[in-house]
Structure 1
């Protein structure tokens, strides 16, 4: 295909995008502007095909909105900024995968702990301050989780009013919530997970779901790696990748 002049129909047949999608992506700066023949028709080349294939991988990796923004931006940004932008996509996926794996490890540890725990004792209970410090979250966050039905502390009357006491089960649920939220799960998803882990057998299934989530991120990362070679060529055409 090198050196060939391609029509929009040729590119559509090669990439699987429709002619209108190709025109739209050209207008958005995802691919470079096509040359025009004397009759006004667009003339594409192998570079446009490579751009569209990179865009497909990039859209799978980070989503179509971000993919369009990145591929448009790297064409006009200075070398350093364009390289940093492309590199940030790898950083984002790595962090997402690390959070998912950390959450899975937390669930597995909690499941093992749960199987060996005796009945909660008062001595094992934690105050809201102690639990917030242990989890590294604000006390207001724990109160929010309680309102959402994710954690169920006991309420004891004191001279100063009502105090929350988190027994072993409530502490365990708070740890699960913290792990899932750190992995990027939304409150409705966390609520479903907490409902599941109240049955200890479901802790393992939740851990498996997080493992599947991490694997899905790995597949997205692989797509990003495929797209990266073309991104580098767009940022610095013809520049070798090593000294």
Structure 2
């Protein structure tokens, strides 16, 4: 009885918006996107919301910092359509990506420490493409990016492939692949190309880990903030799931 009375309390769009610094248009957009359950209507056609909608909004806003806008939208849409397992799958994917990013950071740190300890310069370019080198398409596919992105990175000085004398095709040797991987991860960490270029130059010169320590420390911090944000998002989503219960409204896609 208490739960039904709480859900039946009517809220205007401005009531939802005001508490989160949003516009009423944003509330309407969230409803249209399936982030919020469908609103009720007054006899005059005005939207009315309830505490259930307020809970959905809190869950969405809490999910965004950890999962991003697109994934948070997909999670809420799945929940509101009754596809809770799909929502859990999306959350699992985000956690898997965070774990992968942590492992990549560890791998980057390990590689940079190896450079510092051995004092090795970058490997000499290989002479046989396809054996000890790779072309732009396979490398882009392995990184999950477009070939155009690698060409852009080349113009920015992040990678320096040589050209096959017969075909003119770009050939990426072991050092180029290393630089491309590092650039890819730093881009995912939010770094701009102009900030990445000097870091990769330091790696090429094997100038030691010290110039990179600030960036690596910031990267660690970003991952920690994201992990904690995922916890906060999970708490709000669980609260919304408890409130919506088995009578959770369905929204037609």
TM range (shorter): 0.5 to 0.7
TM-superposed deviation, 1:99: 3.0
TM-superposed deviation, 1:126: 6.1
What's 1:52 paired with? Answer: 57
Do the aligned partners of 2:62 and 2:236 also contact (CA within 8 Å) in 1?
yes
TM-superposed deviation, 1:229: 0.8
| Superposition map of 1:50-199 within 5 A | 50-77=55-82, 82-118=83-119, 120=121, 125=124, 127=126, 129=130, 131=132, 138=138, 147-148=154-155, 149-152=157-160, 171=175, 174-181=177-184, 185=188, 189=192, 192-199=195-202
Structure 1 residue runs without a partner (length 5+): none
Deviations 1:81-137 (A, max 9, x none): x1332123322322332232223222222222222334659xx6463556559xxx9
What's 2:231 paired with? Answer: 222
RMSD after superposition:
4.4
Aligned counterparts of 1:119 and 1:227: Cα–Cα separation in 2: 50
Do the aligned partners of 1:156 and 1:163 also contact (CA within 8 Å) in 2?
yes
Structure 2 residue runs without a partner (length 5+): 249-253
Are 1:232 and 2:241 matched, yes or no?
A: yes
What's 2:28 paired with? Answer: 23
Distance 1:97 1:73, change over 3 A: closer
TM-superposed deviation, 1:35: 3.0
Do the aligned partners of 2:36 and 2:80 also contact (CA within 8 Å) in 1?
no
Aligned with residue 6 of structure 1, among 10, 26, 29: 10
Q: So what's the TM-score if we normalise by structure 1?
A: 0.66
TM-superposed deviation, 1:19: 3.2
TM-superposed deviation, 1:53: 0.8
* Count of residue correspondences: 225
Do the aligned partners of 1:100 and 1:213 also contact (CA within 8 Å) in 2?
no
Distance 1:176 1:60, change over 3 A: same
Distance 1:224 1:162, change over 3 A: closer
Q: What SS does the aligned partner of 1:198 have? A: helix
Distance 1:219 1:48, change over 3 A: same
Q: So what's the TM-score if we normalise by structure 2?
A: 0.64
Greater Rg, structure 1 or structure 2? 1
Aligned counterparts of 2:93 and 2:38: Cα–Cα separation in 1: 29
Aligned counterparts of 1:184 and 1:117: Cα–Cα separation in 2: 27
